[in-house]
Amino acid sequence: MPPGCSPRSCPGGMARRVALARAVALDPQLIMYDEPFAGLDPIAMGVVVKLISTLNEVFGMTSVVVSHDISETASIADLIYVVADGVVVGTGSPEDLLRADTPRVKQFVQGLPDGAVPFHYPARELSLELMGAGWTPPSGGER
């Protein structure tokens, strides 16, 4: 750690490395990662992907990676579960999921803007949101 950096005050990337080092020191059979690629630049992301893969190979451990980063996760995963609304909606190898024809899985894995999951969620009309429920727009040219 950098001088004067405690586990609570060190930069995010350093804190992640310290947490991983502490976990690996315990010689676990399983490590769970929660969004390990979030906020990383492409180089740091590549390092983390390689690190997870190497740890699995060298120590014979299993990793569970929770992530929205499909391409990076698929590059190191043997098996992927797609979860939506608390339910597993798809499972398989990365190749299986890329060929999936289930609408929700296909939309998520391929990053499609239109499909089973609407991008725009129902919302109140903006004028009602800003002016209140009893407000009605003026008729004609009045303002």
Reported pTM? 0.70
Q: What is the CATH number of domain 1-77?
A: 3.40.50.300
For the segment 70-85, the average pLDDT, to the nearest whole number, is: 93
For the segment 12-20, the average pLDDT, to the nearest whole number, is: 75
Range(s) of the chain covered by CATH 3.40.50.300: 1-77
Q: Which of 113, 114, 111, 86 is nearest to 98 (CA)?
A: 111
- Say whether pLDDT at 114 is over 70: yes
Q: Which residue has the higher pLDDT, 57 or 1?
A: 57
Q: What is the 3-state secondary structure (H, E, C) of the chain?
A: CCCCCCCCCCCHHHHHHHHHHHHHHCCCCEEEEECCCCCCCHHHHHHHHHHHHHHHHHHCCEEEEECCCHHHHHHHCCCEEEEECCEEEEEECHHHHHCCCCHHHHHHHHCCCCCCCCCCCCCCCHHHHHHCCCCCCCCCCCC
pLDDT in tens, 81-110: 999 889 999 999 999 999 999 999 999 999
Of 7-11, 22-26, 83-87, the range with the highest mean pLDDT is: 83-87
Residue 3, pLDDT score: 61
**Phi and psi angles of residue 3, each rounded to the nearest 5 degrees, phi first:** -55, 140
Residue 86, pLDDT score: 92
What gap in Å lies between CA 128 and CA 123, rounded to an integer? Answer: 10
pLDDT tier at 134, thresholds 50, 70, 90: low
